[in-house]
Amino acid sequence: MNGTADRVAIVTGGSGGIGRAVVERLAADGTAVVVHYAGNRQRAEQTVAEVVSAGGRAIAVGGDVADEQEMESVFDAAEREFGGIDVLAHTAGIMPLAPIAQMDLETFDRVQRTNVRGTFVVDRLAARRMRPGGAIVNFSTSVTRLQIPGYGAYAASKGAVEAITLILARELRGRDITVNAVSPGPTATPLFFEGKTEEQVEGIAAGNPMGRLGEPDDIAEMVAFLAGPARWVNGQVLHVNGAAA
């Protein structure tokens, strides 16, 4: 395995929330980072500027995670700019919430397209193009075990992500590439706060044995572990949630 100073990572959804924390954490280890974004180019470029000003290496590249040609361009940029690909941290996802009986099928399809097809697209590219010693880190959710009403479409999509992760780890036998999924609990990001009252947020935080929400840096620490030293952790779903589930 290459040292972290020689490694190159693609972080999907890297312009904000957990993705941005992952970018900053990997860059701090000396990893060159491709900051992928879906729509907010300005925020991605700001993330890149902060990494570069701290002495790191990063570029921003946009694309729809569910569009193979657009994501192939992201992988092309990583190889062109930094020479190869060693890490995929696939944090990108969407989380519209509604009870199953009330969610329209258009929204359901959009969730599955981004979260399931998007994971399949980027994982397939990584499986084809990643160097030996690499690490694929997908993102699930602790909601798959919590069964919270309103999360049906989202939890279903992340159940599929877990299945893709566990099977791909076995399919890459002999390649020296690990494949794992990180499963955060409630984490203080704009995606989590959207649509929740202050009372709801306080109740969720109080329900955790640690007495707080997770922070993006908590999750990024696990990604850094899987992206670098954790060579004997493979084909696993790791719940990073302060014992929320």
Question: Where residue 216 sits, what CATH number does that domain have?
Answer: 3.40.50.720
Q: What share of residues in the chain are helix, strand, coil (percent, to 5)? A: 50, 15, 35
* Mean pLDDT, range 120-139, rounded to an integer: 98
193-223 as b/e: b if 16+ CB within 10 A: eeeeeeeeeeebbeebeeeebbebebbbebb
Task: Kindly indicate the confidence band of residue 61, based on its pLDDT and cuts at 50, 70 and 90.
Answer: very high
164 within some domain: yes
pLDDT at res. 148: 87
User: Residue 245's pLDDT is what?
Assistant: 66
> Residue 216 and residue 191: Cα distance in Å, rounded?
12
Which token pair is 17? 């929330």
Q: Has residue 245 been placed in a domain?
A: no
**Per the domain annotation, does 34 fall within a domain?**
yes
The total number of structural domains in the chain stands at 1
145 domain residue, yes or no:
yes
Question: Hey, CA dihedral for 61, 51, 191, 194, is it positive or negative?
Answer: negative
Question: Is the pLDDT reported for residue 207 higher than 90?
Answer: no
* Residue 222: φ, ψ to 5°: -65, -40
DSSP H/E element including 182? strand 178-184
Is the per-residue pLDDT at 1 higher than 50? no
154 is catalytic: yes
Please give the DSSP secondary-structure letter assigned to residue 130.
P
Res 2: pLDDT = 45
Could you tell me where the beta strands, DSSP code E, fall in 41-154?
Answer: 58-62, 87-90, 135-139
Q: What does the pLDDT look like over 5-27, one tens digit per residue?
A: 689 999 999 999 999 999 999 99
**In the 8-state DSSP scheme, what is residue 215?**
-
Residues spanned by the domain of 207: 4-240
| Structure-token pair, residue 5 | 């100073």
Pairwise CA distance, residues 243 & 177, whole Å: 29
Task: Determine, yes or no, domain membership for 135.
Answer: yes
- Give the pairing type, strands 58-62 and 87-90: unpaired
**What is this structure's pTM?**
0.95
Q: What is the mean pLDDT of residues 56-66?
A: 98
The answer to whether position 225 is within a domain reads yes
pLDDT of residue 184: 94
Instruction: List the catalytic residue out of 122, 154, 164, 182.
Output: 154
Instruction: For tokens 């701090």, name the residue.
Output: 28
Q: Is residue 62 part of a domain?
A: yes
